[in-house]
Structure 1
């Protein structure tokens, strides 16, 4: 997804502890937080809202299952030697760029498929013992960055490689070059890609040094060396440094993302002996929540403090910050809500009950205008809650909470009719004209979806499932 900022941490075991900050982040205290880096894009939300809704309804009208791709390599064309790489596993990440769909399986195998020829171009694993952990599309130079671990290194260090899309189109994934070779990215080290600021943040746990690189040419800009830094959060133009807390306060610093200049240093008072659920930075707003305490919203410019009752704002499992709209999404117990920075609930979504309870944001896409959220959802009726049943792909307005379109297997239930009445019929397995390559029914394609991506240029939705298959939905 263009605009993703994501953090990938090293892990001593392959395909475990996969921490992508844009998606799901495991904090030291166990708190799961997708935070603001899922969607970091320059947007324009000033167009007429009614036109946007009408346009969205038309875009998703009559979406159909048109293609199927397989990440599994039964004939062994991929040069792999690790036994677990040869197993069929679920798709955990999908990225699309320049008419190529990249699908990463949980095993660590990554395949590239052409939307022009509808064929697999190549596998991106260029070494027999390579386990790819995550993908990042760098729009600055039209390249794909892969983050991998290797059996020869006991899967303990992250290695990054940049490969131009044109090389991948030619079936030459080995035409790329290594990045950040001077950095020791062993556990708990990490690399984070920040698209909106055009920066890369690395952390070497070995010497407790953070380094900031230019995403355009990978030049190192500056470093931060302080063993007391517990966490770094990135917002447009700035970084928030969170230091080790004392019993009564936590030291904080705000730095310029461009050159590391300290813009402000201050303390935030804490309730003693209370765990910190989260500290988040959104432009000039600092959000702090402690266990069983009210949410605090601090304006760091003038030190004005606002509190939201803990009964109104309960600790979410994840955030997504919408920068241009000055709003943020919270995820809790499969539900999504929209808040402003006065602590007011702006939107609660109708018919948008997420399928995955852990808020796996691989199954969520927010459009570049930040006006729509596309998610893999459960049916609202209780009789459809069995795990074996197919879910649906729901498209909802972020500003109104209304369901604008839905891809599912039937148009018979009342809630589906209500949702789809203004956008035409929902997808029905009896109406689809499928490619000859598709062996899966619509109902099967909507079962156990493990990743979701929306290509805004092609107006296509790509979903991956637990069988390692990728399905293309288009109108």
Structure 2
């Protein structure tokens, strides 16, 4: 849900990514934050039929073409932390400039070249560095890594920016630290907001929020108020949620550019009822309390719409499509599309998610926001063929139609594609079925028209046509 801190196994899609400094009892329990789901304008073009047919063609002949391994049997240089040498699942994938970055659960991050099909380097610069999350900053063509270190008992987040050009040369240590003045100890956090081009940090030590420019990392302004319980970011604005009173919650809407207060108001609540979520999206405020109706308030006109609690049940996650005034909800492996009048717009015909906890690392929304690509349960008719393998489903967000599907029965290798030891065509079907088992991360490279998946064995697979 938008703006809520990402900790443990309770992720949510958001404009950017919020990573929390988390107290840890063991050094091997790092949990990934939510993968950045890029959001830009979703167009209402007249050539929608052509767009759908084009999308079908793009994904029609997708097959497995490469396999990379994030695990280094030689242990790299990470001898200080034995758990970094263990083979673990891939939890996050980012692609930029023909490079694929794969972050393993252990905290090791490897980069691979799609041009040479070889590993370039590891992003871990010191022997005690455990990388928690990745963010590609398109404003200056750099990769930001968010890490914790054994030297301070893994208690503080530290950010580093490294230009892609340096990574291409294998110079992962050529980056520079960010936000060094900030104390990002638990429950502090850092959130990257790609839509507004901002970074939000929270220093729990002095209860100060700060906003930085994502282009040059200059500090723009700070918010110091111990009564602020949460900040949610939307295009152009921030919503400040204050400590709840008995029958209402104080709210403020600020300009994201300079922190100017645009509106202050109280929203009435049902007494003694837990607040499931409060979300702000453009001029719409969404409020849901336990076992109560969903309220959609237009903060400009004060118009209030209520949606029955039997029709709209609290989802486990949202994805918001701002320009089209729609949002996706995720609940019990199902995805639905709603508008801000509280009406169900679309239910997906064939898009049953594999993971019940809505692991958004296995979901990608295209930049046009017309397609959703997810790791899903296989069709009943295919289960006897594919065994434990799922499928990668590509569906149209506006119609709910499944446009294409990568599955074991149609994603097999051709012999000429077996350049990375995946085997010959006789065993390609088995290799594809194995690659479609236990997918733990998914990313779609729109420039190359390739889907990248990672699995629990730390293997990274490339699907292309």
- Scaled by the length of structure 1, the TM-score of the pair is 0.90
Q: Is the 8 A contact 1:136 1:145 kept in 2?
A: yes
Q: Distance in 2 between matches of 1:19 and 1:131?
A: 11
**Aligned residue number for residue 444 of structure 2:** 454
Matches within 5 A, 1:34-433: 38-46=37-45, 48-381=47-380, 384=383, 389-410=388-409, 426-428=410-412, 433=417
Aligned CA-pair RMSD: 1.9
Matched, 1:474 2:464: yes
Deviations 1:58-88 (A, max 9, x none): 1101101000000000012344420110000
| Deviates most, 73-82 or 252-261 | 73-82
Residue among 3, 6, 9 paired with 2:20: 9
Per the alignment, do residues 58 and 382 of structure 1 end up closer, same or farther by CA in structure 2, a change over 3 Å counting?
closer
| Secondary structure class of the residue paired with 2:60 | coil
Per the alignment, do residues 340 and 445 of structure 1 end up closer, same or farther by CA in structure 2, a change over 3 Å counting?
same
Q: Distance in 2 between matches of 1:239 and 1:387?
A: 46
Q: Is the 8 A contact 2:134 2:143 kept in 1?
A: yes
Deviation, 1:385, is: 9.7
Deviation, 1:164, is: 0.1
Unmatched 5+ stretches in structure 1: 24-36, 411-425
Per the alignment, do residues 106 and 335 of structure 1 end up closer, same or farther by CA in structure 2, a change over 3 Å counting?
same
| Secondary structure class of the residue paired with 2:463 | strand
Q: Is the 8 A contact 1:372 1:397 kept in 2?
A: yes
Q: Is the 8 A contact 2:21 2:184 kept in 1?
A: yes
Per the alignment, do residues 385 and 149 of structure 1 end up closer, same or farther by CA in structure 2, a change over 3 Å counting?
farther
Q: Is the 8 A contact 2:131 2:148 kept in 1?
A: yes
Deviations 1:149-191 (A, max 9, x none): 0000100000000000000000000000000000000000000
Aligned residues: 444
| Secondary structure class of the residue paired with 2:252 | strand
**Aligned residue number for residue 427 of structure 2:** none
Matched, 1:435 2:419: yes
| Secondary structure class of the residue paired with 1:443 | helix
| Secondary structure class of the residue paired with 1:60 | helix
Q: Distance in 1 between matches of 2:148 and 2:51?
A: 43
Unmatched 5+ stretches in structure 2: 1-13, 424-429
| Deviates most, 428-437 or 253-262 | 428-437
Q: Distance in 2 between matches of 1:287 and 1:407?
A: 36
Q: Is the 8 A contact 2:91 2:104 kept in 1?
A: yes
Q: Distance in 2 between matches of 1:366 and 1:226?
A: 35
| Secondary structure class of the residue paired with 1:325 | coil
| Secondary structure class of the residue paired with 1:252 | strand
Per the alignment, do residues 430 and 97 of structure 1 end up closer, same or farther by CA in structure 2, a change over 3 Å counting?
closer
Per the alignment, do residues 138 and 93 of structure 1 end up closer, same or farther by CA in structure 2, a change over 3 Å counting?
same
| Secondary structure class of the residue paired with 1:56 | helix
Deviations 1:250-279 (A, max 9, x none): 000000000000000000000000000000
Deviations 1:110-164 (A, max 9, x none): 0000000000000000010000000000000000000000000100000000000
- Scaled by the length of structure 2, the TM-score of the pair is 0.92
